[in-house]
Amino acid sequence: MSDKHNAGDVPTTGHVWDDDLGDYINQPPKWWMLGLTASAIWCVVYFIYYPSIPLSNGGTWFKGVAGWTAINEMEADKSVVDEVRGKYEAKLKDMTPAAILADSELTEYVTRSGKVLFGDNCAACHGQNGVGTHDKQGLFAPILNDDDWLFGGKIDDIHTSIVGGRQGMMMAHKDMLSEAEIDTLANAVATGKPTSTPLFTDKGCVACHGADGKGIQAMGSANLTDSVWRFDGSVEGIKYTIKNGVNAGTPETRVAVMPAFQGAKLSDAEIKKLAVYVYKFGGGQADAPAAAQ
C-alpha cells in the first residue's frame, strides 16, 4: 500500500510499518480458494486410494483401496511385452532351428531378442557379438562370426554344439616326436601346407586332421590349411600345441572346453534361438535348402 496506488476502501490489518506501509486484508480470489480446497481433498483421496502410510506393527502398511503395487504395475507392463513376444515364442516352440532360419520374420525376432541371451550365457567366453576372448595362450574361446567351424557351421551343427557342449582333444606329442620332427611339422603347418612333409602321414597326424589336413568335423579336429587359428598360429605356438596337445590332462596343455547348455542352463527354445542368433553372426553355413515345414 503506497500513497500513489490507493486501493480504495479495502480495510487493512491495522499494523503500520515505516510510517505508511500497511497490509490489506483482501480475500484470496474464490477460484484460488476452490483450488486449494480441491487440492486438499485430492490429497485425502490419494492417501486412501494408494498405499500411503506404514503401520506401527512393523513391516505392514496401509495398502490403499485400489490394491495398487509397483510390482503389479510392472507385471502388467511385462504382460504387454509378453503379449507381443508371445506369438513368436509360440511359433518357435515347435520349429526346428533350420525352419526358424527359413522364416525371415522369426529370424528378425530372434536376432533382436537373442542379444540378451547371448550376453548372459555365451559372451563370457565368446565375447560380445562372438568376437572371441583371449588369454595368455592366445584365443580362449573361438570367434563365432567367422566361417571356420571345427564342429560344423550349419545351423543344426551349431545347435548340437550348444545342446551338448564340446571338448577339443589332441594328444601331447612331446614324448612321441623328436624336437626336429616337431619343428618340421610346425613349420609345414604354419605355411598352411601340412601335407608338404611326409611326417604328417608317417606320424599319424592324418588320423585326426585328415589326409588333406583339413580336419574332420566329426572329431572337431582343426583345419590346418586355412588362415584361421584356434590357438596361436605362429611357429612357436604351433610347436607348443603339438607338444602339449589339447585337453591332454597336463597342466601345460591347451584348454578347449565348452559346457553343455541343455537342461538346467537353457530351455530348448532358448537354445534354438541362440543357434539362430550365432548363425546370423555371419559365419553360418547354409544347408542344402532347408526342408520347409
Partner 1 sequence: MNQEVVKPEADKKEVGEVTTIYNEFETWTWTVNMGDKTIHAKRMPGFFRTFKDRAQLALWLPFFFLPYLRWNDKQAILFDIDHRQFHFFSLTVLPQDIWMLSLLLLVAAMTLFAVTSVASRVWCGYFCFQTAWTDWFTWIEEKIEGNPTARRKLDVAPWDFDKIKKKGLKHLSWALLALFTGISFSIWFVDAFDYWNMLIHFQLPMVGWVTLFAFFAGTYILAGLLREQTCIWLCPYARIQAVMNDSQTILPTYDYTRGEPRGKIRRGGEVVAPQGDCIDCFQCVQVCPTGVDIRNGQQLGCITCGLCIDACDSIMDKIEKPRGLIRYASLDELSGKPAKKMYQHPRTLVYIGIIVLALGGIVWGLTHLGSMTLKVMHERQPLYVSMSDGSIQNKYDFKLLNKTNKDFQVKVTAEGGIKDQVIIGAEHQPLIHHGRGTSFTIFVKAPGKHANKDTTPIQFRVESVEDPMVFAEYTSKFYAPKK
39 binds partner 1 (CB under 8 A): no
Minimum distance of partner 1 from residue 34's CB (angstroms): 14
285 strand-pairing partners: 154
Alpha helices by DSSP H, 138-217:
155-164, 179-190, 199-202, 205-209
Q: Tell me whether strands 138-141 and 257-258 are parallel, antiparallel or unpaired.
A: unpaired
- 1, 95, 117, 131: residue in contact with partner 1 (rule CB under 8 A): 131
The one segment of 143-151, 199-207, 237-245, 252-260 that binds partner 1 by CB under 8 A: 143-151
Of 248 and 277, CB closest to partner 1: 277
114 binds partner 1 (CB under 8 A): no
Of 102 and 182, CB closest to partner 1: 102
Q: Phi and psi (nearest 5°) for 128?
A: -60, 135
Of 51 and 192, CB closest to partner 1: 192
Q: Angle CA(237)–CA(243)–CA(246) in degrees, nearest 5?
A: 80
Of 1 and 171, CB closest to partner 1: 1
- 73, 77, 82, 108: residue in contact with partner 1 (rule CB under 8 A): 108
Q: What is the 3-state secondary structure (H, E, C) of 236-268?
A: HHHHHHHHHCECCCCCCCECCEECCCECCCECH
27 binds partner 1 (CB under 8 A): no
Separation of alpha carbons 5 and 24, rounded Å: 13
CB 181 within 8 A of CB 203: yes
Cell numbers 490489518 correspond to 13
- 223, 241, 244, 253: residue in contact with partner 1 (rule CB under 8 A): 223
Q: Mask of contacts with partner 1, 232-271, x by CB under 8 A? A: ----------------------------------------
Query: Which residues form the interface with partner 1 (CB under 8 A)?
Result: 2-4, 104, 108, 111, 128-129, 131, 143, 145-148, 223, 226-228, 280-283
